[in-house]
């Protein structure tokens, strides 16, 4: 542990640390001043709730944890609960705690209902204050033993307190309390993040799930962003299925994820966010006109094209849990449109290996045309015991008639026919986007406890010549033969209509957002898992990186072990984002693993694996 003077010097020595203390508030143009009334609070506790403080940075190397002298007293936590009107959840238990006789709330019958299908439905987890869809990143400390070879149940990488926030002032309370006490702060919306960025051992969590207001505004004008038209102002807890339904009722659509339960107004939109509409209207973040947010100072502000413009830029793509906690987002509403979609599959069990791979090879030839046409294809390549399964899950063509979509697919379908592949493309036309979305995409599952996923945004350069397409195909095939599960999204991310923002610059030349996953035996030891995951990065992912030099990955669907994540997840936006992080959050109140500026900290996990089950501590050299 660093001695006190050394640490303080290290923090203040560089100019990047010295400036923000003076300038932290300069950028905060207008504050909405939802002040928390501290009148009844005793003078000893009052300082824990004040906004705009410079935190006491003479605490330890790590954030403050239970057992530390600086850990807030019970009275302090009680006061936090009281000030929020009783919205603080203390000592939340993992869902699977009901399976363990030594846990409070043990309930064998309820545990028995956690069959694979029930447990893996994302609906079950999204309503829980702490559960994440990435058990591997949580630290796997409490899983249903009837499904997994589980060792027991403890809270692990889950938080110790949860602020069930429904209003900005609940968020302000938690932010101020965390900044003033040094307790680790996290933000959880649905918990969908692949890397576990909505978790954190013994943290104070702001749970945004219940900020569900949706307001439709028929006419909104922002001349800076060149927009005049209808918008939705949405609470940040609103999910895909909710906003799509609300939009449908107004004859509108909004850019959001394909996944039904994704928190499209939370981490999704701050991280960029791809959508079945991305080929037409860009990423989720490109469609944002304004945020309301609580800053690291605890101020409640508007960030838009004229107010807090740096924050507005950073929140559009810079990643969640990094610059502020957003409480609402105002997004463009587009006119509803027709859609044609196709779902089908074939397998090497029917075709034999040679024909199967010829079919995949010929498919690669159509990706650029499909992307240019604004279509979005979610397709999978799954190896099982030496056979390979391909599926369109689906091909999705917004704004296209059945005839237009069929014409687009025809060149490849002709090749499939020539190869003798039997398939039934089931090309279906829908009058409304909402109906097309609902019948076309699967309800996705919680991640398995033995999987890590890496991603790559393959740019146009990978498709320019037949040789390049052959090279990409061979790498995809090799990954399959090595038993990697693959999910690809063939699309383009149109340039932002609203001008520059912090969305990863690697999205723009992209034709395929591609993912592969490594799986390990469920009973592997930590050392075995680490070795497998390192090899996955060094070999499988590296081979994809080698053929796409200068490209990147997607920060929300990626591996915690992604090397050079700053460049991979933000491209040429990273230097400016780093500068803004130091200015807007000079004391690192916010942190997310692989987030902007996260190089300064590390979760020191108990088992040495990349997960949230450990203390968050400073990296001395960073
Ligand atoms: C089944 C499934 C389907 C998916 N489909 C898509 C898809 O179609 N397109 C796509 O682009 N991605 C998709 N994703 C990835 C998804 O975008 C990310 O998981 C994203 O992080 C989800 O945001 P969330 O707020 O729901 O999740 P969370 O895990 O709760 O949050 C993600 C991150 O954002 C932070 N955060 C959340 N809300 C706020 C807020 N209000 N203010 C500040 N920080 C906040 C959290 O702290 C965390 O760091 C999918 C993921 C899954 C598991
Ligand atoms: C700052 O931290 C030190 C060491 O934990 C403690 O002695 C001091 O009282 C703290 N100051 C404030 C204002 O909380
Ligand atoms: C969180 O708040 C919402 C909205 O008030 C409420 O419906 C829900 O029951 C709360 N959840 C928990 C776990 O306290
Ligand atoms: C941006 O926010 C400010 C502060 O709330 C507001 O005055 C201004 O009208 C907003 N801009 C637009 C285009 O709505
Ligand atoms: C794959 O093969 C293994 C070993 O032969 C077998 O146990 C398993 O059931 C097979 N899986 C499938 C999906 O066929
Ligand atoms: C197809 O290829 C896989 C390896 O890539 C092999 O395991 C399998 O046996 C092959 N199937 C046939 C029928 O040759
Ligand atoms: C074709 O797709 C539509 C829409 O997804 C579905 O309703 C229909 O059942 C499918 N038909 C077949 C034969 O699978
Ligand atoms: C995991 O289980 C397999 C099959 O039962 C066994 O061969 C292997 O030794 C086990 N590995 C560990 C690390 O326990």
Q: What is the pLDDT of residues 196-224, one digit of tens each?
A: 999 999 999 999 999 999 999 999 999 99
What angle do helix axes 15-23 and 574-584 make, rounded to 10 degrees?
A: 50
Q: How far is CA 385 from CA 114, 356, 480, in A?
A: 27, 15, 11
CA of 44 to the centre of ligand 2 (A): 12
- Does the C-beta of 525 come closer than 6 Å to ligand 8? yes
Q: Quick one: tokens of 18?
A: 């010295």
Arithmetic mean of pLDDT, 326-347: 98
Chain-centroid distance of CA 311 in Å reads: 19
Percent of the chain residues past pLDDT 90, beyond the cut? 85
| pLDDT for the residue numbered 390 | 98
Alpha carbon nearest to ligand 3 atom 6, residue: 210
Residues 6+ apart with CB under 8 A from 89: 129, 161, 162, 163, 164, 207
| pLDDT for the residue numbered 32 | 63
Q: Which atom of ligand 4 is nearest to the CA of 224?
A: 13
Task: Transcribe 93-119 into DSSP letters.
Answer: PPGGGGG-TTSTT--HHHHHT--HHHH
CA of 386 to the centre of ligand 5 (A): 10
d(CA 28, CA 36): 19
CA of 556 to the centre of ligand 1 (A): 6
- Does the C-beta of 353 come closer than 6 Å to ligand 6? yes
Enter the DSSP assignment of 287.
G
CA of 593 to the centre of ligand 1 (A): 14
pTM flag (> 0.85): yes
CA of 384 to the centre of ligand 5 (A): 8
Beta bridge partners, 234, equal: 214, 329
| pLDDT for the residue numbered 220 | 98
CA of 271 to the centre of ligand 4 (A): 23
| pLDDT for the residue numbered 494 | 85
Whether cis (ω within 30° of 0) applies to the bond prior to 427 is: no
Q: What is the pLDDT of residues 83-111, one digit of tens each?
A: 999 999 999 999 999 999 999 899 999 99
Confidence of residue 323 (pLDDT cuts 50, 70, 90): very high
Q: What is the pLDDT of residues 30-40, one digit of tens each?
A: 556 566 788 88
Average pLDDT, the chain: 92
Q: What is the pLDDT of residues 413-462, one digit of tens each?
A: 999 999 999 999 999 999 999 999 999 998 777 788 899 999 999 999 99
- Residue with the bigger pLDDT between 599 and 150: it is 599
Nearest ligand by distance to the CA of 522: 8
Residue 196 has phi, psi (to 5 degrees) of 80, 25
Q: What is the pLDDT of residues 49-93, one digit of tens each?
A: 999 999 876 568 999 999 999 999 999 999 999 999 999 999 999
d(CA 329, CA 331): 6
Task: Transcribe 466-486 into DSSP letters.
Answer: HHHHHHHHHHHHHHHHTT-EE
CA angle, 63 as apex, 62 and 67 as ends, to 5°?
Answer: 90
CA of 357 to the centre of ligand 6 (A): 11
Q: How far is CA 263 from CA 102, 152, 222, 582, in A?
A: 34, 30, 25, 27
Chain-centroid distance of CA 399 in Å reads: 27
Q: Is the predicted pLDDT of residue 5 greater than 50, yes or no?
A: no
Q: Is the predicted pLDDT of residue 3 greater than 50, yes or no?
A: no
Q: Which atom of ligand 3 is nearest to the CA of 89?
A: 14
| pLDDT for the residue numbered 176 | 97
Q: How many residues are present in the chain?
A: 622
Out of 101-115, 486-500, 569-583, give the one with best mean pLDDT. Answer: 569-583
Q: Is the predicted pLDDT of residue 8 greater than 50, yes or no?
A: no
Q: What is the pLDDT of residues 104-163, one digit of tens each?
A: 899 999 999 888 778 877 788 888 999 999 999 999 999 998 777 777 999 999 999 999
Residues 6+ apart with CB under 8 A from 542: none
Q: Which atom of ligand 7 is nearest to the CA of 430?
A: 4
- Does the C-beta of 439 come closer than 6 Å to ligand 7? yes
| pLDDT for the residue numbered 622 | 55
Nearest ligand by distance to the CA of 127: 3
CA of 496 to the centre of ligand 2 (A): 47
Q: Which atom of ligand 7 is nearest to the CA of 394?
A: 5
For ligand 3, residues with CB inside 6 Å are 89, 129, 164, 166, 210
Q: Is the predicted pLDDT of residue 29 greater than 80, yes or no?
A: no
For ligand 2, residues with CB inside 6 Å are 56, 58-59, 70
- Does the C-beta of 523 come closer than 6 Å to ligand 5? no
CA angle, 429 as apex, 427 and 435 as ends, to 5°?
Answer: 115
Helix, coil or strand: residue 578 = helix
Out of 33-47, 490-504, 585-599, give the one with best mean pLDDT. Answer: 585-599
Q: Is the predicted pLDDT of residue 316 greater than 80, yes or no?
A: yes
Selection from 192, 73, 578 nearest residue 588 by Cα: 578
CA of 390 to the centre of ligand 6 (A): 15
Neighbours of 231 (CB within 10 A): 25
Give the residue, out of 148, 520, 521, 528, with the most ligand 8 atoms within 8 A of its beta carbon, to mutate for a pocket test.
Answer: 521
Give me the residue label for tokens 């498919």.
363
Neighbours of 222 (CB within 10 A): 18
For ligand 4, residues with CB inside 6 Å are 30, 222, 302, 304-307
CA of 255 to the centre of ligand 4 (A): 22
CA of 505 to the centre of ligand 1 (A): 19
Q: Quick one: tokens of 367?
A: 């990706």
Alpha carbon nearest to ligand 6 atom 12, residue: 353
Q: Which atom of ligand 5 is nearest to the CA of 384?
A: 13
Helix, coil or strand: residue 408 = helix
Domains of the chain plus CATH, in order, are: 214-335 (3.30.465.10), 339-570 (3.40.462.20)
Q: What is the pLDDT of residues 517-571, one digit of tens each?
A: 999 998 899 999 999 999 999 999 999 999 999 999 999 999 999 999 999 999 9
Q: Is the predicted pLDDT of residue 267 greater than 70, yes or no?
A: yes
């Amino acid at each position: 542990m660093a001695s006190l003077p050394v640490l303080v010097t290290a923090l203040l020595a560089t100019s990047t640390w010295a400036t923000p203390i003076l300038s932290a508030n300069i950028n905060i143009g207008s504050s909405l001043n939802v002040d928390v009334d501290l009148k009844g609070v005793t003078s000893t506790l009052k300082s824990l709730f004040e906004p705009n403080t410079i935190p006491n940075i003479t605490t330890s190397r790590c954030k403050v944890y239970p057992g530390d002298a600086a850990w807030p007293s019970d009275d302090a936590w009680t006061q936090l609960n009281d000030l929020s009107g009783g919205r603080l959840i203390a000592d939340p238990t993992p869902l699977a705690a009901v399976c363990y006789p030594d846990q409070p709330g043990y309930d064998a019958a309820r545990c028995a209902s956690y069959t694979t299908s029930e447990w893996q439905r994302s609906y079950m987890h999204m309503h829980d204050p702490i559960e994440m869809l990435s058990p591997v990143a949580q630290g796997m400390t409490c899983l249903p033993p009837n499904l997994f070879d589980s060792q027991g149940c403890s809270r692990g990488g889950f938080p110790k307190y949860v602020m069930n926030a429904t209003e900005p002032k609940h968020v302000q309370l938690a932010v101020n309390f965390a900044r003033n006490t040094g307790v680790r702060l996290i933000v959880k919306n649905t918990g969908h993040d692949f890397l576990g960025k909505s978790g954190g051992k013994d943290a104070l969590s702001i749970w945004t799930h219940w900020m569900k207001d949706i307001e439709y505004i028929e006419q909104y004008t922002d001349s800076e962003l060149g927009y005049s038209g209808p918008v939705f102002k949405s609470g940040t807890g609103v999910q895909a299925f909710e906003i799509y339904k609300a939009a449908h009722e107004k004859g509108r659509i909004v850019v959001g994820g394909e996944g039904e339960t994704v928190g499209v107004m939370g981490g999704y939109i701050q991280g960029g966010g791809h959508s079945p509409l991305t080929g037409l209207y860009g990423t989720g973040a490109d469609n944002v006109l304004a945020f309301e947010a609580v800053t690291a100072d605890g101020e409640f502000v508007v960030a838009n094209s004229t107010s807090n413009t740096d924050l507005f830029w950073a929140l559009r793509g810079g990643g969640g849990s990094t610059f502020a906690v957003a409480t609402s987002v105002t997004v463009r509403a587009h006119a509803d449109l027709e859609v044609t979609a196709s779902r089908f599959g074939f397998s090497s069990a029917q075709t034999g290996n040679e024909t199967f791979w010829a079919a995949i090879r010929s498919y690669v030839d159509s990706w650029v045309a499909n992307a240019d046409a604004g279509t979005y294809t979610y397709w999978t390549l799954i190896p099982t015991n030496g056979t390979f399964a391909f599926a369109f899950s689906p091909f999705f063509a917004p704004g296209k008639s059945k005839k237009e979509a069929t014409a687009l697919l025809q060149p490849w379908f002709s090749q499939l026919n020539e190869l003798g592949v039997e398939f039934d493309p089931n090309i279906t036309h829908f009058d409304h986007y909402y109906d097309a979305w609902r019948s076309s995409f699967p309800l996705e599952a919680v991640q398995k406890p033995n999987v890590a996923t890496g991603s790559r945004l393959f740019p146009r350069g990978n498709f320019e010549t037949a040789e390049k397409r052959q090279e990409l195909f061979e790498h995809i095939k090799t990954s399959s033969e090595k038993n990697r599960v693959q999910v690809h999204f063939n699309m383009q991310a149109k340039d932002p209509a609203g001008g520059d923002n912090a969305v990863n610059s690697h999205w723009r030349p992209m034709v395929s957002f591609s993912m592969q996953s490594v799986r390990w035996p469920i009973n592997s030891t930590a050392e075995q898992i680490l070795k497998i995951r390192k090899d996955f990065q060094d070999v499988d992912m590296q081979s994809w990186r080698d053929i796409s030099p200068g490209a990147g990955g997607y920060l929300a669907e990626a591996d915690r072990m992604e090397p050079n994540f700053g460049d991979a997840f933000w491209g040429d936006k990273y230097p400016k984002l780093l500068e803004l992080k130091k200015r807007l959050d000079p004391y690192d109140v916010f942190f997310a693993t692989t987030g902007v500026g996260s190089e300064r900290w590390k979760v020191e996990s108990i088992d040495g694996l990349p997960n949230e089950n450990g203390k968050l501590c400073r990296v001395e050299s960073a």
